């Protein structure tokens, strides 16, 4: 079972291009190791930046990890992957004039399920994610 302490390491392994941003993030005086949702928000911004630049070479490896987090993560990791990462991707993409659905083809089956649940929730079709 994947626990929250393992998440960033797995994402860094799949996305070496995130290393510089991650170093900048952890050097911030407000950095708190326990705030996984904040870290996932940073990663979401990185993914949106890569997509906008057309640099999607790492996406298969990244979204393979995202799928593993959904399937093999403990309950906290699974929820954080949906709310902290997928929802952040949707929000950050929309805020950066990028259609969030550009990420959809990279998602695995379980991740697509949760992406769609987020869409249903925000459209008012679902009661909760």
In a domain, 111, yes or no: yes
Q: Based on the structure, what is the number of domains in the chain? A: 1
pLDDT higher than threshold 80 for residue 109: yes
In a domain, 47, yes or no: yes
Q: pLDDT tens, 47-101?
A: 999 999 999 999 999 999 999 999 999 999 999 999 999 999 999 999 999 999 9
- Domain of 20? 4-123
In a domain, 82, yes or no: yes
Q: pTM of the prediction?
A: 0.92
pLDDT of 122 reads: 80
- Residue 80: is it exposed, middle or buried by C-beta count within 10 angstroms (0-12/13-18/19+)? buried
In a domain, 128, yes or no: no
The runs of H, that is alpha helices, within the chain are 4-14, 19-27, 36-52, 59-72, 75-79, 87-95, 109-123
In a domain, 16, yes or no: yes
In a domain, 129, yes or no: no
């Amino acid at each position: 079972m994947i626990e929250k302490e393992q998440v960033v390491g797995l994402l860094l392994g799949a996305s070496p291009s995130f290393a510089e941003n991650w170093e900048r993030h952890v050097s911030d005086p407000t950095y708190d190791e326990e705030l996984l949702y904040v870290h996932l928000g940073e990663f979401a911004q990185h993914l949106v930046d890569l997509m906008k630049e057309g640099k999607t070479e790492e996406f298969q490896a990244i979204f393979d990890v995202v799928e593993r987090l959904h399937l093999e993560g403990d309950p906290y990791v699974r929820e954080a992957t949906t709310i902290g990462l997928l929802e952040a991707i949707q929000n950050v993409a929309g805020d950066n004039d990028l259609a969030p659905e550009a990420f959809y083809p990279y998602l695995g089956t379980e991740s697509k399920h949760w992406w769609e649940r987020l869409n249903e929730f925000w459209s008012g079709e679902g009661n909760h994610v």
